[in-house]
Amino acid sequence: MNRFITFARIVKTYGKNGAVVVEPIRKINEKRLTNLEVFIAPPLLERSITKVIKALVKDKRLILFFEGVEDISQAEHLTGRYLQTSERFIDNLFLEGEEDCLGFKCITSSGDLIGSVADILISPAHRIFLIKRENDEILVPDVSEYIESIDEKNGIIVIREGPYIKNWKDNA
């Protein structure tokens, strides 16, 4: 199965020629973005998969140009959407040392397995882990109220016990 990894959010247009400013979720090697095939989420009816034809950093902003997006009106439809790419294309996309929790096992404070991290979403305040369980998925914000610890060495995220855990177990 082909998994898509969320790597940035489109925050606004840039200029009149269809460029957009993006906010990466993690530190990105912008040199690896040119020719990258991306999925726009949530999908647009007319175009959901496209290619990055040019990437540049100007005034500390990451600016992308997409195949088929040629003017500001087309770019405006992209603002607020997320960019994803297939996991087969992510080699060297993220810079070394950047925390990547994809695939980490998620357990409760008492050691019960919840699932594993299938994707990491970004919100204005924090990351959100999309945790894939046997029959469904749940979203868990990366804040101390929910996350007790992240063990990068062993690939484990410990989620605090709370009333929401009972709901997750009842719906499993």
Contact call for residues 65 and 54 (beta carbons, < 8 A): yes
Pinpoint the residues of the chain covered by CATH 2.30.30.240.
Answer: 105-170
Residue 66 burial class via C-beta count within 10 angstroms: exposed 0-12, middle 13-18, buried 19 and up: buried
CATH of domain 4-89: 2.40.30.60
> Amino acid identity, residue 131?
I
Could you please state the CATH topology (level 3) that the domain comprising 105-170 is classified under.
SH3 type barrels. (2.30.30)
H helices of the chain, in order, are 72-76, 163-170
Q: What is the largest CA-CA distance in the chain?
A: 55
Per-residue pLDDT of the chain (172 residues; tens, 9 = 90+): 567 888 889 999 999 999 999 998 777 888 889 999 999 988 776 668 899 999 999 988 999 999 999 999 999 999 999 998 887 777 777 765 445 688 899 999 889 999 999 888 767 677 888 899 888 889 998 888 899 998 888 999 999 887 776 666 655 5
Pinpoint the residues of the chain covered by CATH 2.40.30.60.
Answer: 4-89
* pTM confidence score: 0.60
